[in-house]
Amino acid sequence: MSLLLNGIGVSRGIAIGRAYRYEQESPEIVERRLATADLPAEIRRFRRALQRAKAELKGVRDRIPENAPADVGTFIDTHLLMLEDGLLAQAPIQHMRALHCNAEWALKLQYDELVATFDAMEDAYLRTRRDDVAHVIGRIQRLLAGHEATSAPASRGDVVVAGDLSPADIASLHDARVAGVITEFGGPLSHTAILLRSLEIPAVVGTHAALRLIGSGETLIIDGDAGLVLAGAAPSLQRHFRERLRRDRVRRATLAKSVLLPGITLDRHVISLQANIELDADLAALRRLGPTAVGLYRTEFLFINPKASPPGEEEQLRAYRKALRALRGSALTIRTYDLGGDKLFDGDMRDGQISPNPALGLRAVRLSLREPAPFAAQIRAILRASAQGPVRLMLPMLTDLSELDQCLALIAEQREALRRAGRPFDPDLPIGAMIEVPAAALTAEAFARRLDFLSIGTNDLIQYTLAIDRTDEMVNHLYDPLHPAVLQLIRLTLEGGARAGIPVAMCGEMAGDARYTRLLLGLGLREFSVPINRLAEIRHVIRNSDCGALSQPADALLATPDRAERLRRLQEINRDLDPAV
């Protein structure tokens, strides 16, 4: 009997192999009251588990092959740093002493507090960092329960079926050369999903019932493009997917050959193709690619590492200079931090309160203007970095021109302060803004006339336009980048920039999805900033597209009210592309 499961395709490609069920026992956590005399021994037990967790992760890191992508070691190092942090190493001990409770319960309380903070973040990417907390604390809990460390001893060509997987698990699976991964939980923005994409392991997450429905040894098919899992498929269907797998291998070989070719369309339009970065692993990947500008450097990771205060000017400056050295003369666009209004900087911020609606609350530029000290420090660091190479400063989530005026005034103040202090910086540092709120898109020309460049952030623009949280499984099926309202706002922004004579890029997920590349070219987009692992594919589509021939089909799709018809028109626009694209 055949079985079809739907999930979220987080890593593209086809995988065919036998099911390997990877199940980890989750210990039951109960509260135990301890006498004061028993607390020292309990604290020592907790610290031993912490040290064993570090040893396990270091062992995994040491076994990573030298030719593995840098992301693998980076994410494991992130978990090691979390184990060193006071919020995991010291806060549970404080709970134990205050409540006279066992280590497991104290760790659970700390987990609940950390998860509440991450869940309150509006930004979907930052919100999924709770997964890292769950992976690290889950490892400690298993050690406290006396469970031996488990790896994923799958065999070459297996399709792994699991509830969830940590970056350390993925490292072991990569070493085993598994064919694909299926998980019951997870989302497209987790570190696990990012790592699977980086390693090019086809994967579908969020299948919910996979472990209950799939037996060990069953032949499975993963379609990472469509987010589908098939078990017990008929021979004819298996032949179809094996042919897809063969074509996918040919496509990857073709893309690898074109990765360093210029982004020039068939009708000779030069398209700027830039990268989105945030981690040191991204810098290592950029070095391998050759000269590539960065259209979006997310700086949030400098700020969300749990600590008592935000990074200072010097710490940020070191990070920006490191990125510039990796770029070797290519431009670096640094976005000022886009954080939510939750408790991220210090205990005094908003009296520790979390916004009841973070999506519409104090975040990004609103937060920066309310808490100007860390914002000013970041601006100074960006200005000083501009003395070392080509840097652009980008402001997130502007809604009103009054916000822009306040930001420009603060930037002017910091320029003057650096000038008085004799600190070098680029006096002509370009300043731009993200267009990710419908109000900003509708007034894009007014913003464009005061700025040097714009960049469309489609993730938030679509979410705010359609009133949909794309991470909410109850409504994310309504998330539609092809909605006429979304496309009209994109066009308005492009036209506003053109009338003001400044460039307009796109740095959201839509820019990195090859299905939309030709449509965006037809709408007039000429600058794309995409995840590093999407550069080759987007470049391939650009080099096989004719901008002049795409204008009319793009207009027709924008004017189509029916969703199914819009999808049909998109397929027609992409008709002569590789089916895998």
- Tell me what pLDDT residue 191 has: 73
Binding site per annotation, positions = 298, 335, 436, 459-460, 470
Mean pLDDT over all residues of the chain?
A: 87
- Tell me what pLDDT residue 363 has: 80
| Helix intervals (H) in 199-312 | 210-213, 235-258, 280-289, 300-304
- pTM of the predicted protein model: 0.74
pLDDT in tens, 496-541: 999 999 999 999 889 998 999 999 999 999 999 998 878 888 999 9
pLDDT in tens, 57-72: 888 888 777 666 666 6
The yes-or-no verdict on residue 381 having pLDDT over 60 is yes
**Which of 41-50, 459-468, 481-490, 572-581 is the least confident region?**
572-581
The yes-or-no verdict on residue 325 having pLDDT over 80 is yes
Please choose, from the candidates 63, 71, 68, 82, the residue with its C-alpha nearest in 3D space to the C-alpha of residue 151.
63
pLDDT in tens, 291-309: 789 999 999 878 765 444 6
Q: What kind of fold does domain 3-24+154-233 have according to CATH?
A: Glucose Oxidase; domain 1 (3.50.30)
- Tell me what pLDDT residue 342 has: 40
Binding site per annotation, positions for phosphoenolpyruvate = 298, 335, 459-460, 470
Q: In what order do the strands lie in the sheet with 219-223?
A: 3-6, 228-231, 219-223, 14-22, 159-162, 180-183, 203-205, 8-11
Would you call 44 helix, strand, or coil by DSSP? helix
Which tops the pLDDT comparison, 378 or 533? 378
- Tell me what pLDDT residue 200 has: 84
- DSSP states of 95-153: HHHHHTB-HHHHHHHHHHHHHHHHHT-SSHHHHTTHHHHHHHHHHHHHHHTTPPP----
> Which are the catalytic amino acids?
191, 507
* Domain boundaries defined on the chain: 3-24+154-233, 38-145, 298-345+357-429
- Tell me what pLDDT residue 346 has: 43
Taking 3-state DSSP, the helix, strand and coil percentages for the chain, each rounded to the nearest 5, stand at 50, 15, 35
Q: Are the beta carbons of 184 and 164 closer than 8 angstroms?
A: yes
In the CATH scheme, what architecture does the domain 38-145 have?
Orthogonal Bundle (1.10)
Q: Are the beta carbons of 254 and 544 closer than 8 angstroms?
A: no
CA of residue 53 relative to chain centroid, distance: 26
Structure tokens, 530: 């995409």
Core vs surface per residue 121-132: b (16+ CB within 10 A) or e: bbbbbbbbbbbb
- Tell me what pLDDT residue 1 has: 65
The yes-or-no verdict on residue 40 having pLDDT over 70 is yes
In the CATH scheme, what architecture does the domain 298-345+357-429 have?
Alpha-Beta Barrel (3.20)
Cα separation, 53 vs 58, whole angstroms: 9
Structure tokens, 72: 């693998």
Q: Mean pLDDT, to the nearest integer, of 367-388?
A: 95
The yes-or-no verdict on residue 385 having pLDDT over 90 is yes
